[in-house]
Amino acid sequence: MLLPPALYSRLAGEPGAAEPLPVERNPAAGEAPFRYAPRPVRFPRDHEFFEDGDVQRHLYLQDMLTQVSETPEKSMVPEFTCQVAGCCQVFAAIEDYQHHYHMMHGNTCSFCNRAFPSGHLLDVHILEWHDSLFQILAQRQDMYQCLVESCPEKFKTSQDRKDHMVRLHLYPADFRFDKPKTNRGPAMPAAADTAARALRDDSDAMEVCLEPAAPPPCRRTYSHRIPSTVCFGQGAARGFKSTKKKNKHH
């Protein structure tokens, strides 16, 4: 960019009072209604012209220093354990305990004590696992609703729902919300079956050893003897006399 000769000579010259630059005007515009001659104006540092700028600069610097100096300080308290029964987690800060309680105990199923990260997942879990009418309704209509709270889609099976979430909501392929139910039938593993059979054999042997029972105790027999006469006091006459006749044994 080429500078005008007058401006170039002014910049190259020594500092000091300089003549105002000529203003080039289009001849067709006519003469200017006034003549403008720029000149420098100097104000002292404490002039009221700089008052608004000083206030804004002071507030800006104060805000910046406050943001730098304010670092989140954790409340220093002694270590404490979780207050929920059965949980042994130890915390050194209240913020850590609040985060743990919200994630692990905030949305807990009252039937199986399983924790969920949101209330929506807890409601879906209770509906699918602890509602007796769910399986009946699932045979007639789509009951497995999407786990994304803003998605209203429902599906016939949980596998269809999983495919939908992986494909549309970009969930990982190994994502699993519902654990398969384990059938507790009569079938037992081989080791457990062997142990049960050995225990049953031991119990049979114990029963065989206890078969010879002790004979019942003999019942005692008692005989009542009635005296022929009864006397009251020493040397007293007989007061009562048996009226039974003695049988003579020949």
Q: What is the pLDDT of residue 245?
A: 56
Q: Please report which confidence band the pLDDT of residue 246 belongs to, taking 50, 70 and 90 as the band edges.
A: low
84 compared with 149, residue with greater pLDDT: 149
Q: Give the residue extent of every domain in the chain.
A: 73-106, 119-179
The structure's pTM equals 0.38
**For residue 44, which amino acid is it?**
P
Tokens of 198: 């050995």
128-175 pLDDT, tens digit per residue, is 899 889 988 988 999 999 999 899 999 999 899 999 999 999 998 888
Token pair belonging to 135 = 């399986």
> What are the tokens at 234?
């020493």
Q: What are phi and psi of 104, to 5 degrees?
A: -105, -30
Q: Are strands 90-91 and 80-81 parallel, antiparallel or unpaired?
A: antiparallel
